[in-house]
Structure formats: structure tokens, C-alpha cells
Amino acid sequence: MDNDSAAKNIFQPYKFGKIELRNRFVMAPMTRNKSPGGVPGDDVARYYRARAEGGVGLIISEGTYIGHSVANGYPDVPAFHGEEALAGWKKVIDGVHAAGGRMIPQIWHTGAARMPGSWPNPELPGAGPDDVVVDGVQTVKSMTQTDIDLAVMAYAQAAADAELLGFDGVEIHGAHGYLIDQFLWAGSNHRTDGYGGSLENRTRFALEVVKAVRAVVSDNFPVVFRFSQWKLSDYDARIADTPEELGAILKPLADAGVDYFHASTRRMWEPAFEGSPDNLATWTKKVTGKPVITVGSVGLDKEFRVGHFTREENPDANSSVDLTQLAQGISDNRYDLIAVGRAILADPQWTNKVRDNRLDEITNFDVSALDELVV
């Protein structure tokens, strides 16, 4: 496939629910810590609008925490509940639409990954599948049925608010060692009730969230589910050791109402299971029959590492775009959409520059893109 054919393959409209995306590129969700008090301001609205002006087909917001007492786990991340925060998100989506873009929020509960003392209820322990005690202090409380029911309701309310505000869909964050993923992973779920033990039981919480979300949004309002094998604390962690186990987790979620899966990997080119070259997105497509978003260090010459964002490792990376390889995966029906993270963080015009073959004009990624909202 030559470069012109590759560009034609990627830069064509793609149906997403009742709307069309202008191309197959997606801005991946990336936490920015720029919303004091949980409220996205005008600077956040300008930041997202700049990516819409930059030509990306779909924007997925940074993680936005739902209206549960201990959903938030970090300073200055945005809420997706409450009058003031939702008014801020209304400005964001209106600006994105005015620039010709499409956008969905990622709704999020940090669970046991919550930093102790996080706002708005610093006195409360976090919530997760298991109790966690550190130096004699309970930092995480095992969720009761009431706790679980309240969290499920909060996810559903956030999804309903997303549609009411005019967003183009919603993504449920079920990856990277946060609450939903903590239930899915045997390494963080040691419950002996109906939410723990077997793979079916560990999937129950995710299933309840998906069903609740699906019940409160329109049939043609896309529901995306992001999941991963790796965790922030463990790159080698796996929720599924085989394609069969992956299917046992994801097929019920698809049947419950997930329209698109977002298979998060740190390196999109890596095989998901031994004996096959297919990556996690391709296996997801095979076992669910649903369209998928692939992601993992697209557009850069350095793989993603958590240490880049904590500044424990040098984050700088150079632009590296192989459009023909990316397009071949679409042509081969291995994935449907391609999420780009750090490259778009550093250069809002990345998509337009790739489309116009202005690759030498792309801004390389460095630490400044983490410190500020580049527009």
C-alpha cells in the first residue's frame, strides 16, 4: 500500500452511532490535572477545541470522575457531575462541535488507586473490591452491595448527562488498574461473594455498569468500553491469559450494550497472546464482533511508560509516523479506529499534518506538553 492509498484509507468518514467521524484517528484520553475543584475552565475548552481544529476524527476526554463520594483520586482532575463542572463541559463540547469535531467523555472511578486524602472527601478511605490497610490505617474499604449500587448509579448518571450535554457518545474507563479493572483482575479482587472468584463473577461489576449506562442513553448513542491487560503498577498483569478468557469477559459486555471496545496497550504492534501476531484490539474484534479502537505509542519513537508522566523517566520522544502500516490494519479489518495520545498532546495539528504529508512539521513530544495545555 502506497502513502496515497494509506491516507485515503484513514482519512475517510467513519460511521459512529448516528454521526460520522471525518477520519479514523482518535485523540486518546490523557489526564491533565488542569481543572481546579473538578471544573474544566475556558483553558480546557480551548485545549480540546484546538484538537478538533487540528482535524482528529474523535476526541476522548481525559478521565472525568463520576458522582460517587470517593471516585476522584488525584488533584485538579475534572468531575462529570455537579452543576458547575457540567457547565464547564458544555462549553467544551460546544467548542469542539463549532470546530467540526466530535467528542465523548471518559467516565471514571479511581477505586483503590485513589490517593489518600483526595478531594472532595479527604477523610474517607477509598473504595475497591478489597480492604487495603497501610501501616495500620485503612486506605481502601471493600465495597458493600450498597456501595456497588451507588457507584453503578453514578456511572449511569454521568452517561445520561453526557448525552444531555450534547456529547457524541461516552467511554467507560475499565482499564489500567482503576475501579472496574480492579474487579476484573484476580490480582486485585479476592472477594468471595458474587463479585469475586470466577471470571464470570469478576466481570459482574463491569456488566452492571454497562447495563445501567445502556439503559439511560439512546439506542444510537455509542457506548465505548476501554480495557487493558496492563496496570499502572504492573505492566505484565493480565485479566485474560487466553483468547477464550478474553471472550468470556468481553462478549457479555458486548451483549449488554457496548458498541465499541478500546483495547489499551502500551505498544499497539505487540501480539496479545502466544501463537498469533494479532494485537489486543484484533483479538477483541474476533471474540466480540464489535468495532475496536487500537492504541499504543502511535506516532512516536518511544513507547509509553507511566514514569514519563510522573517525571521519573525522560518523556521526550520524536515523531515517527508510518501511515501505510496503520492503514494496512484497517484494510485487513484488524481494527477500526486508531487512538493517538502523546503525539496529539504535543501538537494539536498532528492529524492535519499527517493528512497533508507535512510530517517534517510535526512538533516532537517533550515535557512541556505535560506541564501545559498546548494549543
Question: What is the spatial distance between Cα 70 and Cα 74, in angstroms, rounded to a whole number?
Answer: 11
First to last CA, the chain: 33
Helix axes 3-10, 323-331, angle to 10 degrees: 60
Q: Is 178 a catalytic residue?
A: yes
- φ, ψ for residue 228, nearest 5 deg: -150, 165
- Rounded (5°) CA angle 53-55-59: 85
> How would you list the strands of the sheet with 126-128, edge to edge?
126-128, 137-142, 132-134
Cβ pair 323, 354 in contact under 8 A: yes
**Active-site choice (178, 195, 260, 335):** 178
Question: What is the spatial distance between Cα 82 and Cα 286, in angstroms, rounded to a whole number?
Answer: 39
| Cα-Cα-Cα-Cα dihedral sign, residues 74, 225, 209, 249 | negative
Nearby residues of 130 by Cβ (< 8 Å), 6 or more positions away: 112, 140, 142, 188, 189, 190, 191
- Identity of residue 111: G
Grid look-up 447495563 returns 211
Which residues are known to be catalytic?
Answer: 178
